[in-house]
Structure 1
Amino acid sequence: MSAFPIDYAAVFQALPGGVLLLTPQLVIADANEALLWRAGRARHELIGRPLFDVFPGNPDDPSGMRNLRASLERVVATGVRDSMALQRYDVEAPGRPGTFEERYWSPVNTPVLDADGRVRLIVHRVEEVTEIVRAGVGDHPVDRVRMEAELYTRAQDLQEVNERLRLAQVREREVVLALQEAMLPAPVPVGHHRAAVRYRPAVGALNVCGDWYDLADLPGDRMAVAVGDVVGHGLAAACVMGQLRSALSAAARVADGPARALEVLGIYARSVDGAESTTAVQAVIDWSTHTLSYSSAGHPPPALLHPDGTVELLDGATDPPLGARPEHVDRPEARVAFADDAVLVLYTDGLIERRHEDIDVGLARLAEALTRHRGADAETLADALLADLLPPGGATDDAALVIIRL
């Protein structure tokens, strides 16, 4: 927080450049004084009206309006700032509807995101550069035509580049999702025990991450279950996720408990580019003794839902993420007893964390949802948790979830 009290409304009005605040539906929510002065309009003529009703495009040259609309819609769809090329966008002469004056602008459109990563507002900043453009060309009509042609070509080139970038992002997302689906198949029953698993990718073109889950059948009436989360997004994170998941799955089958398995994974992670700061948690369920042992490498704690509806967060064996220490240190391991019909829940942070919110709030939300749905079977409970905990418009981080009724 700033040590000085700041009146941000006053700052907005005092900005030297013209700024409009737009809703995702492109309705004008506010305008600063510089914008009103430049447009020659009163505030009541703008607020609450659609942008292109207030500032219609020149019907003889609609390219400016078309380019601006495309930029704003792109910002709403991606949540990414868009700095536009120099634009010709003619405006109606004051008091002369239908008469357009030639104007040139340098626009920047910036999203304002809410706590769930959705676009709440668009900051549309414009600087008029008409005089600069006019000073850059001679009075001869040929010079003016050449300048207008160059501006139009630059705008068209920018649109083509942005469209190619969008298609490349979509293709990468499809590849990553296909890779994750191949590496995170629906689990087969382990012994006579079944688990419900879910994976939900983040919203947005490139927000696919490196979350994973894994289940392994162990000697005796035992099962190892794990979830993990690689730092980063996209194809690189998904590839790292595949390597770490396979390594932990193998280690769980031969290591003496989850702590030793995570130690092996940590040593292996040092040789994998992009594996630094990965979080993971593994639990080993032993039905013959009705106990489960667990160890966490910087991961949110598993939740144990007891038959009476109380929820216990398994945070008794938490250590830093993989690769956080320069030298090997034994990881902690804890053990807890469980009763018949208890439920074990492992998950990644996308299920509980929200921007600008303490993690304890998300953990409390998870516990409350588990208690409320405690009578449901594993599959029904998994769907209920996703419905209760993920934002309606989708989360900004991936979420992996494993549920086992004990």
Structure 2
Amino acid sequence: MDEKAIDYEAVFQSLPGMVALLTPELLYADANEDFQRLSGRSRAELLGRYIFDVFPDNPNDPAATGMRDVRASMLRVVDTGERDTMALQRYDVEDPTRPGHWEERYWSPINAPVLGPDGRVAFVLHRVEEVTELIHLRGGAGGDSRARVLEAELYTRARELQELNDRLRQAHAREREVALALQEAMLPARRQVHDHRAAVRYRPAVGALNVCGDWYDLIDLVGGNRVGVSVGDVVGHGLEAAGVMGQLRSALSATSRVADGPAQALDVLGRYAHVVDGAESATVVTTFIDFDARTIAYSSAGHPPPVLVHADGGVEFLDKATDTPLDARPDPIPRPQAVTTYTDGATLALYTDGLIERRREDIDTGLSRLADSLVRHRASDPETLADAVLLELLPPGGATDDTALIIVRL
């Protein structure tokens, strides 16, 4: 849609409820139609005037502090650049047609910053809900005024809770962006594994406030034509999970370079996870690929099995060396390890559970779906194959869990 086609002045004037725009000096810059109608002031009586010249405190009632409270709120917004939701305020408003006659009003205000190009507060958006009728809804003028005020206070508190929830969602969204950036910075973007091609993919969950702790790694191993390929999943969300993920990935990368095999690498990683807060119950699977011997040694700490698609289309799940997640035992024991062989043209896929798990569906269904997709597209290059697998296995709107995927052409 062309933004120039939108008449924002008309939108502002049509906003439901009382809405005014003030400068940082608290001069009226604009006011919508409801504000003019419900306040009894025309636009000409408002624009360019100081808000508390238009709406002064009632000089006949020293206890009336509504206007002063609003001023303090607006100045906080100007100083901090943050929204301020006020408690219910009693205002005594002078009737413009009857000078000296003051009407009791109850308003529930919210003051929000409008930032300019320089990031500073250019205007204060002043939104007011008129709740005077709610105060007088039961019992009329002679009713229980305390009960009516409490009722309106409950209404205001509900609005404050909604505002707080909105701010928390915004804070979580900012944390998600930082965690994603941290995660992407720590995950390798390598596409070439010796003379073999590889593809890596990471897809954050859709609709979630926090990024999870999924990770992958590809490293050169010491001695011979060998590489280590691994994926893992940390329990938890947000910056904490991203930080734990980075520690485990780095530790496994270093350990794999000196370990005799993947089982020993996971043994050491498990001991390290025991002293890392947030690493408990993390899952990981690692494979050592020897391109000269055409073997894959592997070990899994509670992670879904890698899939090996042979050149002839045969499928092998690497599930002969699966053990408990990291730090799941008080006294760790050596982890199992298995070895399989392959021929040139085979494809190895490692992934996290976001790719295969769905609610109210057996995990075997997801594994079968993955194997079928890999077999049908096995002739494609790894990049095309990875895209095809994600397209076929992830829901159209995105998965509710993060997904990591590595595909290596052997």
Task: Report if the CA contact (8 A) 2:175-2:210 is conserved.
Answer: no
Distance 1:369 1:190 in 2: 23
Deviations 1:8-45 (A, max 9, x none): xxxxxxxxxxxxxxxxxxxxxxxxxxxxxxxxxxxxxx
Residue 265 (structure 2) aligned to one of 246, 249, 261 = 261
Residue 253 (structure 2) aligned to one of 246, 249, 254 = 249
The alignment partner of 1:214 has SS state of strand
Residue 315 (structure 2) aligned to one of 287, 311, 318 = 311
Distance 2:208 2:366 in 1: 25
The alignment status of 1:320 with 2:329, answered yes or no, reads: no
The CA deviation at 1:270 is: 0.4
The alignment status of 1:179 with 2:194, answered yes or no, reads: no
The CA deviation at 1:188 is: 5.3
The alignment status of 1:395 with 2:402, answered yes or no, reads: no
The CA deviation at 1:156 is: 3.1
Distance 1:141 1:277 in 2: 58
Q: In the superposition, relative to structure 1, how do residues 161 and 136 fare at CA in structure 2: closer, same or farther (>3 Å)?
A: farther
2:196 aligned partner, one-letter code: H
- Where in structure 2 are the equivalents of 1:270-285 lying within 5 Å? 270-285=274-289
- Where in structure 2 are the equivalents of 1:362-381 lying within 5 Å? 362-381=366-385
Task: Report if the CA contact (8 A) 1:211-1:400 is conserved.
Answer: yes
The CA deviation at 1:336 is: 0.6
1:300 aligned partner, one-letter code: P
Q: In the superposition, relative to structure 1, how do residues 304 and 188 fare at CA in structure 2: closer, same or farther (>3 Å)?
A: closer
Residue 208 (structure 1) aligned to one of 202, 207, 211 = 211
- Where in structure 2 are the equivalents of 1:56-205 lying within 5 Å? 139-140=142-143, 146-147=149-150, 149-187=152-190, 189-205=192-208
- % of aligned pairs identical? 67
Query: What is aligned with 1:352?
Result: 356
Task: Report if the CA contact (8 A) 1:169-1:205 is conserved.
Answer: no
- Mind listing any 5+ residue stretches in structure 2 that lack a counterpart? 1-15, 19-135
The CA deviation at 1:185 is: 3.1
Distance 2:213 2:370 in 1: 22
The CA deviation at 1:393 is: 1.1
The alignment status of 1:290 with 2:294, answered yes or no, reads: yes
The alignment partner of 2:193 has SS state of coil
Distance 1:307 1:191 in 2: 20
Distance 1:317 1:60 in 2: 65
Distance 1:347 1:189 in 2: 18
The CA deviation at 1:232 is: 1.4
1:190 aligned partner, one-letter code: V
Distance 1:238 1:289 in 2: 36
The alignment partner of 2:293 has SS state of coil
Task: Report if the CA contact (8 A) 1:137-1:143 is conserved.
Answer: no
Distance 1:285 1:136 in 2: 81
Q: In the superposition, relative to structure 1, how do residues 359 and 60 fare at CA in structure 2: closer, same or farther (>3 Å)?
A: closer
Task: Report if the CA contact (8 A) 2:180-2:211 is conserved.
Answer: yes
Deviations 1:287-307 (A, max 9, x none): 111111111111100000111
1:227 aligned partner, one-letter code: V
The CA deviation at 1:148 is: 5.8
The CA deviation at 1:152 is: 4.4
The alignment partner of 1:280 has SS state of strand
Query: What is aligned with 1:302?
Result: 306
The alignment partner of 1:194 has SS state of strand
Deviations 1:49-103 (A, max 9, x none): xxxxxxxxxx999xxxxxxxxxxxxxxxxxxxxxxxxxxxxxxxxxxxxxxxxxx
1:193 aligned partner, one-letter code: H
Task: Report if the CA contact (8 A) 1:170-1:205 is conserved.
Answer: no
Query: What is aligned with 2:335?
Result: 331
Query: What is aligned with 2:119?
Result: none
Task: Report if the CA contact (8 A) 1:304-1:342 is conserved.
Answer: yes
* Aligned positions, number: 281
Query: What is aligned with 1:385?
Result: 389
Task: Report if the CA contact (8 A) 1:350-1:395 is conserved.
Answer: yes
In angstroms, what is the RMSD of aligned CA positions? 2.7
The alignment partner of 2:231 has SS state of strand
Task: Report if the CA contact (8 A) 2:255-2:265 is conserved.
Answer: yes
Distance 2:384 2:139 in 1: 67
Task: Report if the CA contact (8 A) 2:283-2:326 is conserved.
Answer: yes
Task: Report if the CA contact (8 A) 1:284-1:292 is conserved.
Answer: yes
Deviations 1:355-396 (A, max 9, x none): 111111110111111111111110000000100001111111
- Mind listing any 5+ residue stretches in structure 1 that lack a counterpart? 1-58, 62-132
Query: What is aligned with 1:237?
Result: 241
The CA deviation at 1:149 is: 4.2
1:198 aligned partner, one-letter code: R
The CA deviation at 1:251 is: 0.5
The CA deviation at 1:313 is: 0.5
Task: Report if the CA contact (8 A) 2:173-2:210 is conserved.
Answer: no
The alignment status of 1:221 with 2:225, answered yes or no, reads: yes
Distance 1:402 1:317 in 2: 20
The alignment partner of 1:274 has SS state of coil
Distance 1:338 1:287 in 2: 10
The alignment partner of 1:374 has SS state of coil
Distance 1:147 1:266 in 2: 57
Task: Report if the CA contact (8 A) 2:354-2:402 is conserved.
Answer: yes
